[in-house]
Amino acid sequence: MKVETSLSLDSPELYLNRDLSMLAFNRRVLEMASDPDIPLLERLRFLCICTSNMDEFFEVRVAIQKQWVAVGSTHAGADGLSASEVLRRIREKVTELVSDQYQLLNDELLPALREEGISFLHRAEWNEAQQNWIRCFFNRELLPVLTPIGLDPAHPFPRLLNKILNFMVALEGKDAFGRESHYAIVQAPRSLPRMIRLPADVATSENCYVFLSAIIHAHVGELFPGMNAKFCHQFRITRNSELDVDDELVDLKQAIAGELLERRFSQAVRLEVSNKCPTELSDFLLEKFGLNDVDLYRVEGPVNPYRMALVCDQVDRPDLKFPVFEQAMPSRLQVEDRDLFKIISDGDLLLHHPYHRFSPVVELLMQAATDPHVLAIKQTLYRVVPDSPIVDALVKAARANKEVVAVIELRARFNEEDNIALADRLSAAGVQVVYGVVGYKTHCKMMLIVRREGRSLRRYVHLGTGNYHTITTRFYTDFGILSRDPDLGEDVHRIFQQLTGMGRVSKLKTMLQAPFSLHSGLLERIGLEAANAAAGGKGRIIAKMNGLEETEIIQALYRASQAGVKIDLIVRGICCLKPGIKGVSENIRVRSVLGRFLEHTRVFYFYNGGEPEVLCASADWMGRNLLRRVETCFPVRDKKLARDVLNQGLRPFLVDNTGAWNLRKDGAYYRVRSQNKPRCAQLEMMRLYGNLKA
């Protein structure tokens, strides 16, 4: 029964800001680093992930808000906040987050690591033997590649690369030419790691490290012979990393390659300096980068803790890491000399990564590459490195004179260079490479194999919620399905026709597709649940995704809640919906679940009047995904597999009480803690598949 409310569903009071919601997600990541129940090196890794997330947040989201302010835009989202107000609140949240991050690093993690024999030595702690080794290291490895730049009329302030560690050095005296310079800049070489491991003969613990920045700092005076280096302070600049590519262009690949060169020196959005950096020096840097005081962040430690993630991989301490994990093979594939075409013909095959290996997808491609009955292979590639076994299989198939088509999304953020190299390698092998549709990112994950069987042509497909990246499939959770369903095959065929050719939108048989039918299809399904509940029946929605922001979808969920539909939303990152508001969203619960694996699945369950429908998708419920990208959403038609998706991909996350946060109506998240038996969805899946080693 519908509950009356005085609030309009357009009211800004009903929406959370997406950028502030993203910062709330980073706060949750930092809380994982604070959790004493998590192994120590994994806590350090979570802290590093938080740093990386914040870098991307400034490169993209803060950069966008700054652009809105610069052009005087009055643009505001559903939350009603102006860009200037969003930036003000971001400043408040980030200042607090950065302070807490370094306090955690300095006061908890580093001391705890030292107790475990993993130490990071400050310069004041170096003994004579260590100083001698470090001096030799500096002369041998660093001095030949460092290029100090004095700032004078002949050496103007240099263009510094995005996110590169730099040092500002204050100098006294005159050089060999009689020149007098107040400042010089030294850039840390990108070819060397930021953490240097000391050899056993000088180390004071089993795993003993020094920061590269400390080595440069200690010997920076040697770069300016005869002059006095008064002080030296590290800093890092973050730049706008959004690509600005004109839709009306001749060659997309060439345009993106040009933009990548410019992105390294684009508009600055953040300056990080050490906390001891004098105000006169930070003011000088702010002026040079065209920034204001609000763009300055002082840090109590290394300006880029992310580089410490190297230690998590280098240190051989299984007791300080998550238990050893081994990916499993689906039971139907646990046979020798398996014929994947025969196995898939016997019924759809569900893959649940990372609990299942991704190798069956690669194996299917390799079999297709050498199978004389296979005529064509088509695949979308969003984030795939050029030396991937997926690419090897496509190259092999092309050289076997099969028709091979690769739809490569060049604009996959921060993977553009890899994708250009990928396109070059595939083209050289004879693969027909296309770049999708200008103006719409091709974000769908699908593969089509056309095979002659007797007098018929059969279509085999792989559809997934995640990328064809063989590395990330080891620690991203995703579902994939291998199928010979003729309806799915026909739908995938039609979508590939859209991507490679031209023509009007084709009506699909079973799948939903953005930007054409996915948005309306979701609204229709949410509306049906609302109608069933309003008529006295049962309405139920469970949906899991990475982000929820699209206003029409949120309003449809609000209306469904008002009609009595019970709604559970498992949203890892951004969520702009406010749950628990009386008369609007009191039937909606929102939670975020984090763990050792990055939750990446997009799974949607609708009760559908007693005929449950389970859908998997490449798309989150974000405006960009539903309206400005090419995305796919496919039904799990086999009832047993649909139950498996529900029981493995949704229900365990509703009862997780170890890595879960519930969202309150005020936008705050609170950690779910229970005095009862701990429930960890990811751990339950590992036990189900027998992934954990004793």
Contact assessment for residue 578 and residue 571, using Cβ atoms and an 8 Å cutoff: no
Q: How far apart are CA 290 and CA 267, in angstroms?
A: 8
Q: In the prediction, which pLDDT does 634 show? A: 98
Q: Which range, of 207-221, 455-469, 492-506, 600-614, averages the lowest pLDDT?
A: 492-506
Contact residues for 649 (Cβ-Cβ < 8 A; gap 6+) = 352, 479, 544, 601, 603
Q: Write down the catalytic residue from 443, 469, 519, 600.
A: 443
Q: How confident is the model over 241-268, as a mean pLDDT?
A: 52
Q: Which range, of 173-187, 602-616, 629-643, averages the lowest pLDDT?
A: 173-187
Contact assessment for residue 497 and residue 517, using Cβ atoms and an 8 Å cutoff: no
Q: In the prediction, which pLDDT does 175 show? A: 66
Q: Which residue pairs from 327-335 have beta carbons closer than 8 angstroms and sit at least 24 positions apart in sequence?
A: 327/353, 327/354, 327/355, 327/356, 327/357, 327/358, 327/474, 327/691, 328/355, 328/356, 328/357, 328/689, 328/690, 328/691, 329/356, 329/357, 329/359, 329/360, 330/356, 330/360, 333/360
The helix (H) or strand (E) run that includes residue 434 is strand 432-434
Q: What radius of gyration do the chain's Cα atoms show?
A: 27
Instruction: CATH 3.30.870.10 in the chain: give the residue spans.
Output: 331-510, 513-689
Q: In the prediction, which pLDDT does 159 show? A: 84
* CATH fit for domain 513-689, picks 3.30.870.10, 3.40.50.2300, 3.30.420.10, 3.90.1200.10: 3.30.870.10
Q: How confident is the model at residue 122 (pLDDT cuts 50, 70, 90)?
A: very high
How confident is the model over 61-98, as pLDDT tens digits? 999 999 889 888 877 889 999 999 999 999 999 999 99
State yes or no: is 75 an active-site residue.
no
Report percent pLDDT > 90 for the chain.
Answer: 75
Domain 18-320, CATH 3.30.1840.10 — does that match?
Answer: yes
How confident is the model over 534-565, as pLDDT tens digits? 999 999 999 999 999 999 999 999 999 999 99
- Count of CB atoms situated within 10 Å of the CB of 505: 11
Q: How confident is the model over 424-452, as a mean pLDDT?
A: 89
The average confidence (pLDDT) of the chain is: 91
Tell me the fold of 331-510.
Answer: Endonuclease; Chain A (3.30.870)
Instruction: CATH 3.30.1840.10 in the chain: give the residue spans.
Output: 18-320
Q: Which range, of 220-224, 256-260, 327-331, 460-464, averages the lowest pLDDT?
A: 256-260
> Which amino acid does the sequence have at 328?
A
How confident is the model over 19-30, as pLDDT tens digits? 999 999 999 999
Instruction: Report the chain's terminal Cα–Cα distance, integer Å.
Output: 52
Q: Which range, of 354-363, 415-424, 639-648, averages the lowest pLDDT?
A: 415-424
How confident is the model over 301-312, as pLDDT tens digits? 999 999 999 999
How many angstroms separate the most distant Cα atoms in the chain?
Answer: 90
Q: How far apart are CA 33 and CA 44, in angstroms?
A: 6
